[in-house]
């Protein structure tokens, strides 16, 4: 066995785990998008709503860390999903191109369809993640600014 066939086998073995991760990313994107819509509804109904939990003894640095922890999952979703989609597209392309070269276009077409479905779901998850990240980050930074003003911390 040469190194190219070894790499090919390792890459092929990654296809299912990557597809599962793409599926999970898409489900998480839908969940976080729904949660953000619910939070928007709460903020609209209660203008004083805060999702940043401010305990009396927390320093500003601890509050900033809490803010980062709250938005980090959707930030990672928006950055990792496109990479997973690219991996899900590239892995099947090798066998699909071999099928085309062997004159079996139908088999290649089936492989291409699955590969492109993975990238579409991944890009949809990344898009939702980016929107959720941007909106939630803006909300939390505005809340942090209010806390700074309440505590008299300099700008």
Burial of 148 (0-12, 13-18, 19+ CB in 10 A): middle
- Picking from 98, 101, 103, the residue whose alpha carbon sits closest to that of residue 4 is 98
Q: What is the pLDDT of residues 86-106, one digit of tens each?
A: 999 888 887 777 777 777 777
Higher-pLDDT residue of 14, 107:
14
Q: Average pLDDT for residues 12-21, to the nearest whole number?
A: 91
Give the C-alpha separation, 108 to 97, whole Å. 7
- The length of the chain in residues reads 155
Q: What is the pLDDT of residues 112-153, one digit of tens each?
A: 777 788 899 999 999 999 999 999 999 999 999 999 998 887
Q: What is the pLDDT of residues 67-83, one digit of tens each?
A: 999 999 999 999 999 99
Q: What is the pLDDT of residues 32-68, one digit of tens each?
A: 999 999 999 999 999 889 988 888 888 999 999 999 9
Token pair recorded at residue 60: 């500003």
pLDDT at 151: 86
pLDDT at 65: 93
pTM for the full predicted model? 0.85
Per-residue confidence band for 154, with pLDDT thresholds at 50, 70 and 90: low
pLDDT at 150: 87
**Does residue 155 register a pLDDT over 60?**
no
pLDDT at 62: 92
- Picking from 77, 78, 109, the residue whose alpha carbon sits closest to that of residue 93 is 109
């Amino acid at each position: 066995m040469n190194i190219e066939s070894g790499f090919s086998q390792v890459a092929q073995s990654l296809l299912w785990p990557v597809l599962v991760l793409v599926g999970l990313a898409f489900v998480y994107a839908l969940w976080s998008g729904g949660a953000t819509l619910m939070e928007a509804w709460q903020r609209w109904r209660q203008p004083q709503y805060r999702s940043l939990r401010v305990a009396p003894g927390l320093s500003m640095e601890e509050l900033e860390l809490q803010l980062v922890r709250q938005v980090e999952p959707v930030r990672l979703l928006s950055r990792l999903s496109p990479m997973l989609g690219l991996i899900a597209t590239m892995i099947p392309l090798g066998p699909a191109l071999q099928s085309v070269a062997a004159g079996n276009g139908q088999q290649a077409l089936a492989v291409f369809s699955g590969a492109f479905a993975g990238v579409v779901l991944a890009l949809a998850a990344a898009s939702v993640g980016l929107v959720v990240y941007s909106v939630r980050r803006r909300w939390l930074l505005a809340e942090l600014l209010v806390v700074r003003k309440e505590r008299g911390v300099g700008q």
